[in-house]
Amino acid sequence: MSKVKAALVLEDGRVFRGTAFGAQGQTLGEAVFCTAMTGYQETLTDPSYDRQIVVATAPQIGNTGWNDEDDESGKIWVAGYAVRDPSTISSNWRATGTLQDQLDEQNVVGIAGIDTRAVVRHLRTRGSMKAGIFSGSALAGDEELLARVNGQQSMLGADLAEEVSTDGMYTIEPVGDHRFTVVAVDLGIKTNTPRMFAERGVRTHVVPSNTSLDDILALNPNGVFLSNGPGDPATQTGAIALTQGVLERGIPLFGICFGNQILGRALGRETYKMKFGHRGINIPVVEAGTGRISITAQNHGFALEGEKGEVFDTPFGKAEVSHICANDGTVEGVRLIDGRAFSVQYHPEAAAGPHDAAYLFDRFAGLMEGA
Look up 349 and say whether it is catalytic.
yes
CB 74 within 8 A of CB 36: no
Q: Does the annotation list 102 as a binding residue?
A: no
Active-site annotation holder among 257, 300, 323, 325? 257
Q: Does the annotation list 222 as a binding residue?
A: no
CA-based nearest residue to 306, from 266, 356, 269, 353? 269
Strand, coil or helix: 311: strand
In whole angstroms, give the CA distance from residue 251 to residue 21.
47
HSE, CB side, 13 Å, CA atoms: give it for residue 198.
Answer: 12
Q: Does the annotation list 302 as a binding residue?
A: yes
Q: Is 198 exposed, middle or buried (0-12, 13-18, 19+ CB in 10 A)?
A: middle
- CA end-to-end span of the chain: 57
Q: Does the annotation list 157 as a binding residue?
A: no
Could you count the other beta carbons within 10 Å of the beta carbon of residue 337? 12
Q: Does the annotation list 231 as a binding residue?
A: yes
Return the CA Rg of the chain.
Answer: 20
Q: What is the DSSP letter of 200?
A: T
In whole angstroms, give the CA distance from residue 76 to residue 67.
13
- Give the torsion sign (CA, 316, 317, 323, 325): positive
- Give the torsion sign (CA, 274, 55, 159, 296): negative
Q: How many residues does the chain have?
A: 371
Look up 257 and say whether it is catalytic.
yes
Which residues does the annotation mark as catalytic? 257, 347, 349
List, as residue ranges, the binding site: 48, 229, 231, 258, 261, 299, 301-302
List, as residue ranges, the binding site for L-glutamine: 48, 229, 231, 258, 261, 299, 301-302
